[in-house]
Structure 1
Amino acid sequence: MSKTVAVIGAVSLALLVVVLVVQLVLVVPSLGALGPGAEQTGVMVMGEGKASAQPDVAMVNIGVETRSATAKGAADANKGQMADVMEALQGIGIAEEDIQTADYTIYPEMQSSEDEPPRVIGYVASNSLLVKIRQIDQVGDVLDAVTEAGANNIYGIQFTIDDPSSLREQARAEAMADAQSKAQALADLAGVGLGKPRLISESFVEVPIPYPAVERAPMGGGVEVPVSPGQLEVSVSVQVTFDVR
């Protein structure tokens, strides 16, 4: 009885192996048909395009930092000083919706020495605003006004374009023309005809003009703040796969 079972088991296993082999033979050709054959023919190229224009908006990060023996004292001093800065901004024509609180912190100021452990000697309140200036030629006047009003940190100035869509379209058209030209050259060298684009992917980069932090001291005494917006460049890259014929 056990021999019969063993024989039947061996036959079943052999049949199973045959079935699996047949299935593998049937599946592999179907996978090969989807592999790197006719489906993968074509020309893939990268195209690049750039467009630039003068920025029409400046983003300025303005800060007020105050110190006191207590956290409340630092906060109260900061509140009054920042109110003066806000008043100066609105007085020069900056709309309320173009002024946004960027950061507000209160932290202890520590002092340490070799003989003693660190100890708290006071508190610092720091408040910063992100201000959008819609008239580029007003940047220097704004910086002068806020520093006179009590702002003691300018964390950075960034020039940009409020609506860069038209620049992006110009760069995109140039990138596609570049891709078309490269693909045509490759097709000519290969002795094939160039067909229509089958697949297109795009990436773009907008490069603003950053400026380093500026402290209040160099801007005191009514000295005019020099600013130069320069140019803003938009770069578009496309990867295009063309059919060939």
Structure 2
Amino acid sequence: MNRRLATAAGLALLVALAGCAGLAGSTGTGPDAASDGEPALDRSIEVTADGEATAEPDRATVHVAVTATGNDSAEVRDELSVADESVRAALTDWGLDEDDIRTDRYDVRESRESRENPERTTYRGIHRYEVTIDDVDAVGEVIDVAVTAGANEVQRIEFGLSEEREREVRATALENAMANADDDAAVLANSSGLAVTGVYRVSTTDGGVTPYRVAETAAVGDAGGGDAATGIETGDVTVRVNVNVLYGAEQA
């Protein structure tokens, strides 16, 4: 026999023997298979369920901006710089930390009008700030402070949760998700002539956090001519999670 053919035949035989050994030692595949020394399940029920929980916000993020236009880009940058000093000083004097005031957009460019009419060059600049506020009742007051100091746009307001509060609400959402999974498993077991014996394996993924958002048109009130702060409506924040649970089962 050709040496190359003999070698190939020998390898094929080894592969076939290895496959037989694997089949002899296998206990099955899929979610019911044994892993990490755990016993295999004869019967099981697998359920995927969602859970959510809501809570009042304890943190707010406000996006305010200073905009400027002019015939010279340096002039626009200077105007934004002056306003930047004024806005930051006003907000820190009010009581915010410097870390609570973050630039999330800065841009100076030719306006669309200039591109359409090259004989008239104008520039538009924007400096947008993301302002974090731990006292959600003070959002309207902070907006008034920023606007008085030079901000001329309020682009977005979001009410959310601090990290500690979000963990607490997520724990409740997980409890709700497990309760939903238990209910689903009980229905499936009853419909299949089975009885649930307990949880065999569980995993979870985050479904996300939905903050309460305020539309731009509802964000700015009439703060001039009076001492009352801009009124901002708040709403609950929702935390969602997902669980996948494998239950052991037996014949009922």
Q: Which residue of 1 aligns with 2:46?
A: 44
Q: Which runs of 5+ in 2 are unaligned?
A: 34-40
The alpha carbon displacement at 1:38 in A equals: 6.0
- Note if contact 1:154-1:215 (Cα within 8 Å) is conserved in structure 2: no
Q: Which residue of 2 aligns with 1:240?
A: 245
**Structure 1 Cα separation of the partners of residues 143 and 211 of structure 2:** 20
Q: Which residue of 2 aligns with 1:185?
A: 187
- Matched AA of 2:113: Q
SS at match of 2:240: strand
Q: Which residue of 2 aligns with 1:160?
A: 160
- Deviation readout 1:218-243 (Å, 9 max, x if unpaired): 64634753311111111222110112
Q: How does 1:1-245 map to 2 (within 5 A)?
A: 8=1, 16=9, 19=13, 23=17, 26=20, 29-30=23-24, 33-35=27-29, 39=33, 41-111=43-113, 118=118, 121-162=121-162, 163-204=165-206, 205-214=208-217, 219=222, 221-222=224-225, 224-245=229-250
Whichever of the two has the greater Rg, that structure is 1
- Note if contact 1:110-1:119 (Cα within 8 Å) is conserved in structure 2: no
Q: Which runs of 5+ in 1 are unaligned?
A: 1-7
The alpha carbon displacement at 1:66 in A equals: 1.0
- Note if contact 2:50-2:241 (Cα within 8 Å) is conserved in structure 1: yes
- Deviation readout 1:134-170 (Å, 9 max, x if unpaired): 1111111111221122111111000011131111111
Q: Which residue of 1 aligns with 2:36?
A: none
The alpha carbon displacement at 1:29 in A equals: 3.8
- Note if contact 2:173-2:241 (Cα within 8 Å) is conserved in structure 1: yes
The alpha carbon displacement at 1:101 in A equals: 1.3
Q: Greater CA deviation, 86-95 or 167-176?
A: 86-95
Q: Greater CA deviation, 188-197 or 26-35?
A: 26-35
TM-score (norm 1): 0.80
SS at match of 2:67: strand
SS at match of 1:42: strand
**Structure 2 Cα separation of the partners of residues 216 and 164 of structure 1:** 25
TM-score (norm 2): 0.78
**Structure 1 Cα separation of the partners of residues 186 and 27 of structure 2:** 28
- Deviation readout 1:204-225 (Å, 9 max, x if unpaired): 3211112233599864634753
- Matched AA of 1:242: Y
- Note if contact 1:184-1:194 (Cα within 8 Å) is conserved in structure 2: yes
- Note if contact 1:69-1:121 (Cα within 8 Å) is conserved in structure 2: yes
- Note if contact 2:114-2:122 (Cα within 8 Å) is conserved in structure 1: no
Count residues in correspondence. Answer: 234
**Structure 1 Cα separation of the partners of residues 159 and 220 of structure 2:** 23
SS at match of 1:44: strand
**Structure 2 Cα separation of the partners of residues 147 and 37 of structure 1:** 59
